[in-house]
Amino acid sequence: MKLGFHISISGGLKNVCKRALIRNCETIQVFSRNPRGWDYKELNDEDCTIFKEQITANDITPVFVHLPYLINLGSNNIELYKKSIASLIEDLKRAEKIGAQFLISHSGSNPDLDEGIEKMIQAIKSALSTVDNRVIILIENTAGGGNEFGYAFEHIKKIIDGVNSNRIGMVFDTAHAFAAGYELRTEKGVDETLGILDRLVGLRRVHLVHFNDSMAEFGSRKDRHWHIGKGKIGKGMGFIINHPKLKHLPFIMETPRNDTEEDLMNMDIARKLIKNP
């Protein structure tokens, strides 16, 4: 098992590895560009080379790229939908350029569940046929707020089955699953939830755990991450990180931070939870 965080790319990719090492990361997640806008700059070749050399030298792997927040691959707004597909295509290329193995996308949003899922399937198929590389797209389960789909594992199954490619998989986000109504507070609950996930999606399709406690209540459909073991999942975080069906996977924390100390606190807690490192 490898543990890591989402790391800022402020000042360039050349600064990422230093930040990752300070936090004792063995795996990382990054944005390839501004996550809150549509515009982007071309990746600097020298910056990418330095980044790849540094992560290789320090055995920080795998590397995950997360799509920007504005993207909605299930949108019924034609302009937004087209811009989202274009962004997915661009980030597939950027992920390859920085040596990332995976590209993460939230499930989309649409008032019509079936339409949203079908639109997301077609968007991903279009992007994969346009960009022929080895980067795998991972769909992240959601908390289910508003018109979000992807909060039920059945939705993820439909997307993955519909795309029907070896370049599609899933991220299992613990805070989102808990807020969506999957029990994770007890050992039995974790085992049953993972059993459902395995039966519907297949754990072989899960490539990453977003290891986040939840400030939001069980089944609230609210996306509120919190510090490991200090939220509503609480002791369940230990059952999750020690579950035999997950122990081979990388775990990325997206816990709140004001400074490095909070990341170091969460890393220390997570490592202490592991019974047989």
Q: Is residue 210 annotated as involved in ligand binding? A: yes
Q: Print burial letters for 130-160: b (CB count within 10 Å at least 16), e (below 16).
A: ebeeebbbbbbbbbbbebbbbbbbebbbbbb
The yes-or-no answer on residue 254 being catalytic is: yes
Q: Is residue 91 annotated as involved in ligand binding? A: no
Which one of 36, 134, 204, 248 is the catalytic residue?
A: 36
- The whole-angstrom separation of Cα 109 and Cα 127 is 18
Q: Is residue 223 annotated as involved in ligand binding? A: yes
Which one of 19, 23, 33, 106 is the catalytic residue?
A: 106
Q: Is residue 66 annotated as involved in ligand binding? A: yes
The yes-or-no answer on residue 173 being catalytic is: yes
Which one of 46, 53, 69, 262 is the catalytic residue?
A: 69
Total number of residues shown for the chain: 277
The yes-or-no answer on residue 262 being catalytic is: no
CB 35 within 8 A of CB 68: yes
Tell me which residue of 22, 17, 8, 26 sits closest to 260, measured CA to CA: 22
The yes-or-no answer on residue 66 being catalytic is: yes
The yes-or-no answer on residue 36 being catalytic is: yes
- The whole-angstrom separation of Cα 101 and Cα 92 is 10
Which one of 205, 225, 227, 257 is the catalytic residue?
A: 225
Q: How far apart are the first and last CA of the chain?
A: 8
Q: Is residue 263 annotated as involved in ligand binding? A: no
The yes-or-no answer on residue 227 being catalytic is: no
Mark out the alpha helices in 23-152 (DSSP H runs): 45-57, 78-97, 113-130
The yes-or-no answer on residue 248 being catalytic is: no
Which one of 210, 213, 227, 263 is the catalytic residue?
A: 210
The yes-or-no answer on residue 140 being catalytic is: yes
- The whole-angstrom separation of Cα 178 and Cα 170 is 16
- The whole-angstrom separation of Cα 93 and Cα 72 is 19
Which one of 140, 148, 213, 263 is the catalytic residue?
A: 140
The one-letter code for the residue type at 16 is V
Q: Is residue 155 annotated as involved in ligand binding? A: no
Which one of 91, 148, 213, 223 is the catalytic residue?
A: 223
**Could you identify the residue written with the tokens 């949003």?**
109
Which one of 33, 66, 94, 205 is the catalytic residue?
A: 66
- The whole-angstrom separation of Cα 151 and Cα 17 is 33
Binding-site residues for Zn(2+), in ranges, read 66, 106, 140, 173, 176, 210, 223, 225, 254
Binding-site residues, in ranges, read 66, 106, 140, 173, 176, 210, 223, 225, 254
Active-site residue set: 36, 66, 69, 106, 140, 173, 176, 210, 223, 225, 254
